[in-house]
Structure 1
Amino acid sequence: MRPPGNGAARLLSGAGLAAALLLPTALPAQAAPPSRVPAADGKKGQELPGMPSALDPEAEEVVCTPASRETAKKQDWSRQRLDLDRLHQHSTGAGVTVALIGTGVAPGAAGLKGRVTADGDAADDCVGSGTFLAGLIAGTGGDSPRLAGVAPEAKILALRGTDRRGAASADLVVDALRAATEARAEVIAVAVALPRQDAALSSACLLYTS
């Protein structure tokens, strides 16, 4: 029996999500900061710290990614390429729930407060990657509306597909897909990468998104 729903949810894999949002490649923990990101005006963008996709699995102590003290001030090339200013004239994602399967999302993050549902472990984003992605998807931009996400009025359903250090788990992703479908999320974004194909996960993708 298929879970109840008003139609198939749109499933975005990690690669699909990156393509849709034109995200930069995720950086490993403790990587050197990337070079300056080009701004929309063609000049050099400001240098922002890199975002790890996972923490060191061999470290004795889990040290969470600290909040950045840097504030983005310019539109980067990816926002310009997506032409979000024009997109927002047609839709801002109001009434849409995006289930984000990743490292979790901090419910009180700037630009997301009041629009994130994150129960249990999903509210503990030690890595920071999930919260970063949630901002790209549905962030308001705060005092800088031109830096808003793709759908700044959408709601985020945060689901964990990794452990606290960011190591992906096929079992967790399967459970998250089930929860996203039961919650009737219109879009399911899977922002984790698994090292090998998993039969149970492949079956879940067909079952919960068709």
Structure 2
Amino acid sequence: MFSSRRRLYARRAVLSAAMGLILAGTAAAPAHSESVRDQQWFLDAMKAEQMWRTSTGKGVTVAVIDTGVNSDHPDLVGRVLPGKDMATTERGDERTDYDGHGTRMAGFIAGTGTRAGGHGAFGLAPGAKVLPVRLPRVEKIDPAVADEVFARAMATAIRYATDQGAEVINTGFGRGPAAQPVRDSLLPGVKLT
């Protein structure tokens, strides 16, 4: 009996190993996403489909204070308003992104998914309009004055955005603690974090 039980276990082990090799050889290639939407995990995490039943952001202006927003991006066509260019040393204007960051942020906000026949990127508020405000590229400026230049530009950008009726303001920049006194004096009562 002892040897028959051993043979049974041995057969099962061989059978399991053989099945594993067979299945490994016939396993399908990893699945690739059919669209950019399939890769946008944050839409699921934020329950975007449920949110869009209540609002898509239509009628809301969101200021994107950043590196500019590429108004020709297929997922942003018709979403980008004229704005303000404060990056006077860079080519183009507020609808030209010198780094790509502002366009990505605008896509997370108001992407319509129209690129590639409806397989593009969606934002959380695809009905919103984007007001681009392009800040100067401070890494090209002397570090001794960069924080002050940045803080002054940010204060001007926030004031401009509110004057233009932006209901939401997105900023994607951060500067060091040396900018805090300048920010406090330029934007009394406004806490930037």
Corresponding residue number in structure 2 for 1:14: none
2:87 matches 1:123: no
Structure 2 CA distance for partners of 1:122 and 1:166, relative to 1, 3 Å: farther
- Which residue of 66, 87, 105 maps to 2:69? 105
Q: What are the superposed Cα offsets for residues 77-96 of structure 1, whole Å, 9 maximum, x if unpaired?
A: 22211111111111000000
- CA distance in 2 between partners of 1:127 and 1:116 (Å): 17
- CA distance in 2 between partners of 1:149 and 1:157 (Å): 15
Residues 151-166 of structure 1 aligned to structure 2 (within 5 Å): 151-163=125-137
Residues 38-187 of structure 1 aligned to structure 2 (within 5 Å): 72=36, 74-117=38-81, 118-120=83-85, 121-142=93-114, 143-144=117-118, 147-163=121-137, 169-187=150-168
Judge which range, 99-108 or 160-169, deviates more. 160-169
- CA distance in 1 between partners of 2:158 and 2:140 (Å): 17
Contact 1:103 1:164 in 2 (8 A): no
* Secondary structure of 2:77 counterpart: coil
Contact 1:45 1:76 in 2 (8 A): no
Count of matched residue pairs = 143
Structure 2 CA distance for partners of 1:88 and 1:166, relative to 1, 3 Å: farther
Corresponding residue number in structure 2 for 1:206: 189
Corresponding residue number in structure 1 for 2:171: 190
**Root-mean-square deviation (Å):** 3.0
State the 1:164 CA deviation.
8.0
TM-score (norm 2): 0.63
Q: What are the superposed Cα offsets for residues 98-140 of structure 1, whole Å, 9 maximum, x if unpaired?
A: 0111111011211211221234432221100000110110010
Flag the structure with more relative contact order, 1 or 2, with Cα contacts below 8 A and sequence separation at least 6: 1
What is the identity percentage for the equivalent residue pairs of Structure 1 and Structure 2? 33
* Secondary structure of 2:137 counterpart: coil
- CA distance in 1 between partners of 2:154 and 2:79 (Å): 22
Corresponding residue number in structure 2 for 1:25: none
Give 1 or 2 for the bigger CA radius of gyration. Answer: 2
Structure 2 CA distance for partners of 1:101 and 1:45, relative to 1, 3 Å: farther
TM-score (norm 1): 0.59
Q: What are the superposed Cα offsets for residues 25-75 of structure 1, whole Å, 9 maximum, x if unpaired?
A: xxxxxxxxxxxxxxxxxx8876xxxxxxxxxxxxxxxxxxxxxxxx72514
Structure 2 CA distance for partners of 1:94 and 1:165, relative to 1, 3 Å: farther
